[in-house]
Chains A and B, each alone.
Chain A
Amino acid sequence: DGGITQSPKYLFRKEGQNVTLSCEQNLNHDAMYWYRQDPGQGLRLIYYSQIVNDFQKGDIAEGYSVSREKKESFPLTVTSAQKNPTAFYLCASKLQGNTGELFFGEGSRLTVL
């Protein structure tokens, strides 16, 4: 099955702990994205990467970090510096230069206790 897989679907974390969300795609897409979805605020871009070993900050990158060591993988680390980490996180990918269609994962819900 081709697509984007996010894991875990649900994650609980204690305050002060870092946590890493996984995003893997087998669509051979060049660009990958992380969004945060909060009620009433829509989707906000955290980080994106257009090619391997390169990534750019989105609108709300503070308290997050990413890596892009492989084309198919774009993990997101929510660090203890993120003040409001409880949210639904969405990963997406698309072909570089494609007219913008993003393919989304099912999401990961992070709850900080």
Chain B
Amino acid sequence: AQRVTQPEKLLSVFKGAPVELKCNYSYSGSPELFWYVQYSRQRLQLLLRHISRESIKGFTADLNKGETSFHLKKPFAQEEDSAMYYCAPGLSTDKLIFGTGTRLQVFP
């Protein structure tokens, strides 16, 4: 069965510190992987997808097939990064499952 694990419910850092939000997945096949973000009082929205190999708002995420991980990283956290982050690997593009989410708090 598909499974997505985000081990940290809450991650607290100070502004300027590096951030790594962990995501591990388990199922066969080649997944398409996404990170979604929900800022306070805003809709859940796509942050980035691994297929694009892009950096959005300073965040990057590398797919590690050997470790079945898709960790989200940013070298220097900003206060406006405080939000709820969801990892979403999909077995296919038609059924997206989500991790349990990690709340990131960035203190000034």
- A positions within 8 Å CB-CB of B: 31, 33, 35, 40-45, 48, 50, 56, 58-59, 90, 92, 96-102, 104-107
If A40-B9, A41-B100, A42-B101 touch, does A104 touch B43 (CB 8 Å cutoff)? yes
CB pairs A–B below 8 angstroms (26 shown)? A40-B9, A41-B100, A42-B6, A42-B86, A42-B98, A42-B100, A43-B86, A43-B98, A44-B98, A45-B97, A90-B44, A97-B93, A99-B32, A99-B51, A99-B93, A100-B34, A100-B93, A101-B46, A101-B49, A102-B36, A102-B44, A102-B96, A104-B44, A104-B45, A105-B43, A107-B43
What's the nearest-Cβ distance from chain A to residue B34, in Å?
6
How many chain B residues touch A (CB < 8 A): the figure is 23
B95 at the interface (CB under 8 A from A): yes
B94 at the interface (CB under 8 A from A): yes
CB contact list, B57-83 vs A, under 8 A:
none
- B positions within 8 Å CB-CB of A: 6, 9, 32, 34, 36, 43-46, 49, 51, 86, 88, 90, 93-101
What's the nearest-Cβ distance from chain A to residue B63, in Å?
14
Chain A residues with Cβ under 8 A from B34's Cβ?
100-101
What's the nearest-Cβ distance from chain B to residue A23, in Å?
13
In Å, the complex CA distance between A50 and B45 comes to 20
In Å, the complex CA distance between A87 and B9 comes to 19
Q: Do the beta carbons of A50 and B9 come within 8 Å of each other? A: no
Query: Closest A-chain residue to B102, C-beta based?
Result: A42
Q: Do the beta carbons of A59 and B94 come within 8 Å of each other? A: no
Q: Do the beta carbons of B93 and A102 come within 8 Å of each other? A: no
The 8 residue pairs across chains A and B that have the minimum distance between CB atoms: A42-B100, A43-B98, A104-B44, A42-B101, A100-B93, A104-B43, A101-B46, A42-B98
Chain A residues with Cβ under 8 A from B86's Cβ?
42-43
In Å, the complex CA distance between A92 and B44 comes to 9
